[in-house]
Amino acid sequence: MKHLFITVLLLLPLCHMLAQEREYVIVVHGGAGAMAGLENNQEKSALYYAALDSALSIGNAILSAGGEGPEAVMAVVNYFENNPLFNAGKGATCTSAGTFELDASIMEGKDLTAGAVAGLKTVKNPINAAYAVKNKTPHVMLAGEGADRFAKSQGLEIVDNMYFATPKTLKWIEDLKKESKKNGTVGCVVLDKQGNLTAGTSTGGMFKKQWGRVGDSPVIGAGTYADNEGCAVSCTGHGEYFIRHVVAYNLSTRVKLLHQPVGEAADYIIHQELNAKEGNGGLIAVDKKGNFAMPFNSGGMFRGYLYKEKGTGKISKAVGIGEKMKTL
């Protein structure tokens, strides 16, 4: 028994080292939905693979230099918001009135501080407004005209509402009866070198949504959540169901209190709690040990990960659309 006790003591530092193999981790998503066949379309899939790769590279440049999670998350989400391939910022889908209303949120796991905005109409990068709410006000969420006015007062870049349109969305506006499959969202979760977790999410919302509708993306605990003792989560999918199931908080709490592996907990929520036909979508998550998950129950999810191992300095990176991941 004495020898067993000594052996356990000797193994404890090794177990701790194994749990901290990853110096930092970044995981991104660009929305989930009906993407059947997109992987086989080399021209279109190449555009998304390249965009996901660029997003990971942007985050890696910050994290590798010792930058903190919020800086990396903001830079990555800004990139997605400025890329018309995705339903966030430029390229956002339109409401039933033919206008654009955008939502975003960000949260830090080290102190549970969070900021969110909903129904923005004139702020070029909604995630920047969410971050300003977190740092410059005593509140967590601002919405509608007040959120736009606050963002302007903070010196954030303001644009005309039609800035968010693309040739494709302009065509949708002309014929709102035409259904669209672009109901995605963008997000990023990070474990930085300091051991802190951060999550951020931004979206243009659901196609033809009723004006004023708010989905899960800006709702802390539903579409975004981060707790150093649990995990950082960013969701994408049918927001009403993610709100009802408090998905992001649900996942973090399972990791924190039930001590479930993040992958196991994420799979349970996405594949069992959410109905694949109604509550479809996916999420990305990372815990304080650098373990991450990217489950989805829809036809596909734009996603990618990058992490650096401690000691060897080896960087691993991959992106995906459907079931398969493409190593870069």
Catalytic residues, by residue number, are 185
Q: 216 labelled as ligand-binding?
A: yes
Tokens of 318: 């991959």
Q: How far apart are CA 124 and CA 56, in angstroms?
A: 21
Q: 238 labelled as ligand-binding?
A: yes
Q: 159 labelled as ligand-binding?
A: no
Q: 149 labelled as ligand-binding?
A: no
Q: 212 labelled as ligand-binding?
A: no
For CA atoms 297, 315, 50, 224, the dihedral sign is positive
φ/ψ (deg, to 5) at 22: -95, 120
Q: 213 labelled as ligand-binding?
A: yes
Q: 239 labelled as ligand-binding?
A: yes
Q: From the DSSP assignment, how many helices (H) and strands (E) are in the chain? A: 9, 13
Which of 186, 189, 212 lies closest to 81 in space, CA to CA?
186
| E-state strands within the chain | 22-33, 102-108, 114-120, 141-143, 186-191, 197-203, 224-226, 231-237, 281-287, 292-293, 300-309, 315-320, 325-327
Query: Within a 10 A sphere around the Cβ of 13, how many other Cβ atoms?
Result: 9
Q: 303 labelled as ligand-binding?
A: no
DSSP 109-166: TTT--EEEEEEESSBS-HHHHHHHHHHHSS-SEEEHHHHHHHHHHTT--B--GGGG--
Query: Within a 10 A sphere around the Cβ of 105, how many other Cβ atoms?
Result: 35
Q: How far apart are CA 298 and CA 35, in angstroms?
A: 8
Q: How far apart are CA 258 and CA 265, in angstroms?
A: 9
Residue type, 297: N
> What is the C-alpha radius of gyration for the chain, rounded to an integer number of angstroms?
19
Q: Detail the residues annotated as belonging to a binding site for substrate.
A: 213-216, 236-239
Q: Detail the residues annotated as belonging to a binding site.
A: 213-216, 236-239
